Amino acid sequence: MDKKKLIAGNWKMNGNLEANDALVRAVAAGMQQARCGVAVCVPAPYLAQVQMLRHGSSIELGAQDVSAQEQGAFTGEISAKMLREFGVRYAIVGHSERRQYHGETDALVADKAKAALAHGITPIVCVGETLAEREAGQTEEVVKRQMAAVIHVNGHCISEIVVAYEPVWAIGTGKTATPEQAQAVHQVLRAQLRAATEHADRVPILYGGSMNAANAASLLAQPDIDGGLIGGASLKAADFLQIIAAAR
């Protein structure tokens, strides 16, 4: 089954009003014949700006995190309902930088995915092993554990999520997983999803980790790689557009 691929940019903590304006305009102008879905996950203060800029294009808006809570005394948190008011379609949850620097657990990530889904936002659930875990032969065990928590909490709604396999050792390092290494993990995740839902084949499984204009096509050619979650290369319109063009 051929489904439309998804190329999502994760700007991380980058950008400013002027640079965002130029970047989104250039992407919107350059992607007119895109055959894939395109999203940009931007820092929260810029959601309103990018919501306006994307208008008239098919760029979807994403957030980089979402609270697991509905509302109330949770200083600094942003609820799914608030994100929805700004036209947010996707929210990254469980990015390795959140797990690593903010102590996010598998259980919290699962609750965040649930909160997003409850408000019509598609969570992009990130999983991935560290270099030490890979070298210890624990890759499969780690990603399955991370996924299992999300499946457990979200039940049949699991068919509504997007998964992103992001090996931690490949993020921002210029060391990309080979297409074969990535496909092997994507296949494991697909099998796990199949055991949980009959609609597993429609769950996009993105690859993330130093994906760029040069390596995108070979990664995206793998049978279980349904798109990309792009960090550094999503900040340069020309590079991001080349990745979008490689997704067919």
Q: Is residue 38 within the footprint of ligand 13P (CB under 6 A)?
A: no
Residue whose CB is less far from ligand 13P, 197 or 239: 239
Mode of pairing for the β-strands spanning 227-230 and 37-41? unpaired
Contact window for ligand 13P (CB under 6 A) among 32-40, 76-84, 191-199, 224-232: 224-232
Nearer to ligand 13P, 45 or 174 (CB): 174
What residues from 5 to 24 belong to the interface with ligand 13P (CB under 6 A)? 10
Helices 237-246/17-30 angle, 10° precision:
30
Q: Which of 172, 202, 214, 248 binds ligand 13P (CB under 6 A)?
A: 172
In terms of phi and psi (left: phi > 0; alpha: psi -120 to 50; beta: otherwise), the region of 228 is: beta
Q: Produce one character per residue of 18-43: b if its CB has 16 or more CB atoms within 10 Å, e if not.
A: eebbebbeebbebbeebebbbbbbbb
CB atoms within 10 A of CB 199: 13
Catalytic residue among 95, 104, 133, 186: 95
CA pair distance 150, 145, nearest whole angstrom: 9
Q: Using CB under 6 A, which residues numbered 94 to 133 contact ligand 13P? A: 95
Residue 88 as a binder of ligand 13P (CB under 6 A): the answer is no
Q: Which entry of 97, 129, 133, 166 is annotated as an active-site residue?
A: 166
186 is catalytic: no
Nearer CB in complex with ligand 13P: 108/201:
108
CB 61 within 8 A of CB 33: no
Question: Across the strands, what pairs with 41?
Answer: 10, 62
Q: Is 210 in the site for ligand 13P (CB under 6 A)?
A: yes
Interface with ligand 13P, residue 158, by CB under 6 A: no
The residues of the shown chain that bind ligand 13P, judged by CB under 6 A, are 10, 95, 166, 171-172, 208-211, 229-233
Annotated catalytic residues are: 95, 166
